[in-house]
Homo-oligomer: A and B are copies of this chain.
Amino acid sequence: MTDLDDIFTARGSVLIAGASINGSTADIAIDETGTIAAIGEDARRAIDADIVIDGSDRLAVPGLVNTHTHAAMTLLRGYADDMLLQEWLSQKIWPLEAHLTGDDVYAGTKLACLEMIKSGTVAFNDMYFFMDRAAAAVDDMGMRATLAYGFIDLGMEEKREAEIKATEALVDHIRSLNNPRIQAAVGPHSVYTVSPEGLSWCAEYAKEQGIGIHVHLSETEKEVTDCVAQFGKRPTYLLDEYGCLTPRTVAAHCCWLDEAECRLLGERGVSASHNPASNMKLAVNRAMPYHWLKQYGANVALGTDGCSSNNNLDIFEEMKFAALLQKFAWNSPTLLPAGEAVMMATAAGARALGIGPGTLTVGAPADIVLLDARAVCNTPLYNPDSNIVYACNGGAVMTVLCGGRVLMHERTVPGEEEIIQEAAAAARSLIERAKNSA
Contacts and interface: CB of A to CB of B under 8 A. Distances in A.
Contact of A391 (B84, B312, B380): B312
A380 B424 contact: yes
Contact of A77 (B325, B332, B391): B391
A377 B423 CA distance: 12
A254 to B, nearest CB: 16
A314 B393 contact: yes
B81 A338 contact: yes
Contact of A376 (B82, B84, B118, B380): B118
A331 interface: yes
Interface string A361-393: 000000000000010110111110011001111
A281 B390 contact: yes
A350 to B, nearest CB: 23
A332 B281 CA distance: 9
Interface string A316-330: 010011011101110
B374 A420 contact: yes
Contacts of A390: 78, 81, 281, 310-312
Contact of A333 (B79, B115, B283, B332): B283
Nearest to A282: B333
A418 to B, nearest CB: 12
A334 interface: yes
B328 A279 contact: yes
Interface string A408-426: 0000000001001001100
A395 interface: yes
A277 B335 CA distance: 15
A283 B393 contact: no
A428 B383 CA distance: 13
12 contacts: A77-B382, A77-B386, A78-B382, A78-B391, A81-B386, A115-B377, A281-B333, A282-B333, A284-B328, A317-B393, A380-B424, A381-B424
